[in-house]
Amino acid sequence: MRKLLGVWLLACAMPAMAVEIDGKIDPQEWAGAQHVDDFRMTQPLTRMPGSQPTEAWILATPEGLAIGFRNTQPAGVPRTRQRVQRDFDEQVDRVNLMVDFDGDGRTGYNFTVSSTDGIADAVISNENNFNDDWDGNWRHAVGEDADGWSVEMLIPWYIAPMRKASGDKRTLKIYLDRVIGSTGERSAWPAASFERPRFMSDFTAVEMTHYNQSLLTVTPYVSGLYDNVRGDSDFDGGADIFWKPNGQFQMTATINPDFGQVESDDLVVNFGATETFISDKRPFFTENQGLFEYTTPSDFSQLLYTRRVGGPADDGKGSGDITAAVKVNGSLGATKYGVFVADEAEEVGRSFGALRLVRDFGSQNLGMMLTQVDRPYLDREATVLGVDHNWRPNQRWNVQTRVFGSQIEQSGETTRDLGATLWADYEMDRGWRQQWIAMHFGNDLQINDAGYLSRNSTNYLHWEVRKRFADQPEQSRYSSKEWRWRASSSHNDHGEKLNNQFRVSREGRLRDGSYEYAQINVNSAGVDDLVTRGHGSVKRPSNFNAYFEYERPRKGRWGHQLETELYSGGLAGNSKIGYSIQYEPTYFVSDAFSLTAGVYADHTPDWLVWNRDSNLLGSYDGREVHLNAGLDWTIGSKQELRVKLQAIALDAKMRQTYAVDGGGNAVVSPDKVDDFSVKNLGFQIRYRYELAPLSYLYVVYGRGGYRQEANSEDTGQLLSDSFDLRDDEQLLVKLSYRFEL
């Protein structure tokens, strides 16, 4: 016994050796690691011990942060064998490592490994906001036996910028969890939950030996595109450069980047007055972008929306041509900084710049962000300055404040305005929680040159109460429920009431891993000040909407998703009821091959659509049908094939034409507006082969088209006709390879 004890003490005293990432937990390799076995239930949030034992090991090595998991899962607990592609969201057996490398609750990184060795990674900001657009280079392996399965991960120290360590020790904050796919049960250490307003702040501080890694990589690409409609070809080349000499400095640059359609955005037909938000998956813009997160409670709003770079050109002809972009992240003492610069070519090109500073003060942190966009084609220069403050005085409170202003100089005139938001969450006892949100966006606030804001001219207040029921009876089909009640009021900056709203919703998690969400909104009468695009506000009667969502993960060969909604609106208020329904089943031919065929249909009996350059509104009987189909085939650990088909058919029959008078009343007009119909198609076949980490060969075929006509037609016929659309038909081949120098 003394000899064994001596060997163990000697192993603990020795410097950390390399861990072989092979999915096998070797006690000798993990000697000296911190051992964790107190995993507590967080879905449902009972904080009781997990139903199946889980162990983990945490070890700092010269090569990176090493994490090992041992997940006990006997034959009586079904194992999910489904193969998943990168950044999956399927309900499968998996483990998560989440790390806040600076321990200040500002930015974290999530690393997920499934039981079939599929991976996902994401950046965490604002305590519990996950963005999976980022892809990191890290190692992982899975092992399996009759009693359970194991995971080993190695996260290189160059994965993210870090503050300078104090001496030879570094303190990270870490969270680990394990999810059982067949039930959805999640057990975690510590017992923190991303469904609470405080999440990253509740990670456990772990002190470990400090190691430093430098890295220089160059990722050149070549691409060739053949346009089958225009009969021409295009060849291009460029490179991404990543340099991290130490933990306190990191630079990413891109030269003549190619952002060809290796990813396909979902089709959107938008006749509304607000812009559709689309996330950015381009590697340069996702690499260590978390520091630049400056968001508000308004949906998707942010001061730096990277889709602006290379977006629609200012002359309305095509997209901006990015010549180069540079991003620098680092830290000086307790202050983090970030600099972002991008430039587009030719006289219609824009120049983008952003500066970000963040300082941590223990229970609070303070940040500043400055963006500037020069748009010479429009004789416009836009500057936005914002200050953000996050305060966590204790375990119960989480308070976020934002103050920002814009200055627009265009054609010799200057316009300025301000915005401010306050978001406060208070965690009470016995599962109760309250939330207060206040927002003010000035009438002349303009941040959309570099950022995203769905609307300005807003004054909004809401108060919400939640109650979590985590302990359900054993005979209940639910493992947990949460009820929410919200009252809100919204006015524009001219004093007009947009609406008052009362909302009640319930979220339910079932013992078979399924998920339910139901919501009812009751809205007062108010005005719509956007629909006429500046030609006057129109009064709208009271209305409601009721929404239900159900998701059942794979059981046997099938998985199911269902969404349905009833709603009123338009000028008819509650006298006309519309509906929408979406059903998307997935059939699994095998664990690696699945087929999806979803249908969406809606009927809006009083749909208000603006008639361009006037104060006329058309009230339409609108019907819309979507077909969403595709296949996913994980051919092996290095190859995947995706096929994605989206077709949209929209038919709008004119019911009545209205003119908006000076009092905001919709008055029947003798002018007529036309019926119209839309058909839209998007089809992509994408093959990807991983040559090495973050090095890929893509072969992508895409075809699509859009057609809007001044006539009404049956949606079934429109959907069928959409398959003949051929505005674009392209074949793209792209090769990129990452060299470490």
User: Number of C-alpha atoms within 13 angstroms, CB side, residue 588?
Assistant: 18
| Total Cβ atoms within 10 A of residue 420 | 18
The proportion of the chain whose per-residue pLDDT surpasses 90, expressed as a percent, equals 80
- Give me 292's structure tokens: 């630049």
Reported as a single tens digit per residue, the pLDDT across 622-652 is: 999 999 999 999 998 899 999 999 999 999 9
DSSP string, 103-147: SSSSEEEEEEEETTS-EEEEEEETTTEEETT-----EEEEEEETT
Q: Where along the chain do its domains lie?
A: 13-206, 239-259+275-454, 530-741
Amino acid at position 155, single letter? I
pLDDT in tens, 558-607: 999 999 999 999 999 999 999 999 999 999 999 999 999 999 999 999 99
C-alpha 582/C-alpha 564 separation (Å) is 6
Give the CB-side neighbour count of residue 301, counting CA atoms within 13 A.
21
Q: Measured between alpha carbons, how far is 315 from 25 in angstroms, rounded to an integer?
A: 59
**pLDDT given at position 315:** 92
Write the DSSP string, 35-91. EE---EEEES---PBPSS-EEEEEEEETTEEEEEEEEE--TTSPPP-----TT----
Residue 593, number of CB atoms within 10 A of its CB: 15
Please give the pLDDT value at position 363. 85
Percentage of residues in the chain having pLDDT higher than 70:
97
Task: Assign a CATH topology to domain 13-206.
Answer: Immunoglobulin-like (2.60.40)
Question: pTM of the full predicted structure?
Answer: 0.90
> What's the CA gap between 300 and 293, in Å, rounded?
11
Residues of the chain with pLDDT under 70: 1-17, 258-264
CA separation for the pair 197, 398 (Å, rounded): 7
pLDDT at 287: 80
- Decide: 417 and 426 in contact? Cβ < 8 Å: no
List the end-to-end C-alpha distance of the chain, in Å, as a whole number: 49
How many residues in the chain? Answer: 741
For position 260, what pLDDT does the model report? 55
